[in-house]
Amino acid sequence: MSRRKKHAEHVNHERWLVSYADFITLLFAFFVVMFAASNTDKKKAGQIAHAVQVAFHELAVFSPTGKVVPLFDEGGLTSDTKNVIGSAATAFDAAQIVATIKKEGEGDGEMGEIKKQLQTTLVQELDNGSVRMTVDGRGLTISLSEAGFFDPGSAVMQARGIDAVNRIALTLLPLQNNIRVEGHTDNTPIHTAQFPSNWELSTARATHVLQHLIAKSRIPPERLSAIGYGEYRPVAENNTAPGRAANRRVDLVVIGSAAQKLEPLGK
């Protein structure tokens, strides 16, 4: 009886193609997802850039004729500004605030009334130039000169300066406006054990006045803030003695109602 010959099993050398095909399919799906995500992010970034540009245009911060570097491809954004920043009324309200600030800068409204009240209580200081008052977009700025309120290189107010500050505080106390106390110096370097630079001197003077307004004049501290600018916010040239004297000052800035909406205090 003859035996059947066993045939050798056939080895499939192409099974790797199945795994390779699966890998290629997954890789293709991965890149499709990444491409779709990148297009979505580009569209969102373009919408943000367009919203900023529209807001600046509505507020007249930049000239409408200025050249703008495109941050997105053409056709990637909607042309309807209402869908981007809410509505045109939002920009209109912001423009109204700017217009109101400009109006106050002309000396009208509440700042003009406060200035008139202070003019009746600071007659001597206004006459001798130790106090100056200006109205601008921020509100009313009451400038206290170093010569009338501080000794050179000192952050402690003189007695006559304290009396003037008390009279100013009596006028400001009933108001609801925030007050920013700003210290300024000229560009003459100072280097003492107490004040290594003009930064420290200007900040110390502003803080000293602020503490007096809280402790002695009873102005609520939540209405107050203090900052030192050193020599970097001059109101006159530092190349003359009168100019340097004008720059050595402490400003009490009474924030106007419109500008106060942009202030972090009082909220």
Residue with tokens 């109006």: 103
> Residue 47: left if φ>0, alpha if ψ -120 to 50, beta else—which one?
alpha
In terms of pTM, does the model score above 0.85? no
CA distance linking residue 249 with residue 149, whole number of Å: 9
Q: In the chain, what are the domains?
A: 16-86 (no CATH), 106-260 (3.30.1330.60)
Please name the helix (run of DSSP H) or strand (run of DSSP E) that holds residue 208, with its range, or none.
helix 198-215
Alpha-carbon gap, residue 137 to 258, rounded angstroms? 9
**Distance separating alpha carbons of residues 206 and 26, to the nearest angstrom:** 66
* Cα separation values, 250 from 148, 202, 210, Å: 11, 8, 11
Amino acid identity, residue 84?
Answer: V
Phi and psi for 144 in degrees, rounded to 5?
A: -100, 115
DSSP β-bridge partners for residue 184: 249
- Residue pLDDT tens, the chain, 267 long: 555 555 556 566 667 777 778 788 888 888 877 777 766 556 666 666 666 565 555 444 444 444 444 444 444 444 444 333 333 333 334 344 444 444 444 445 889 999 999 999 999 999 999 999 999 989 999 999 999 999 999 999 999 999 999 999 999 999 999 999 999 999 999 999 999 999 999 999 999 999 999 999 999 999 999 999 999 999 999 999 999 999 999 999 999 987 777 665 544
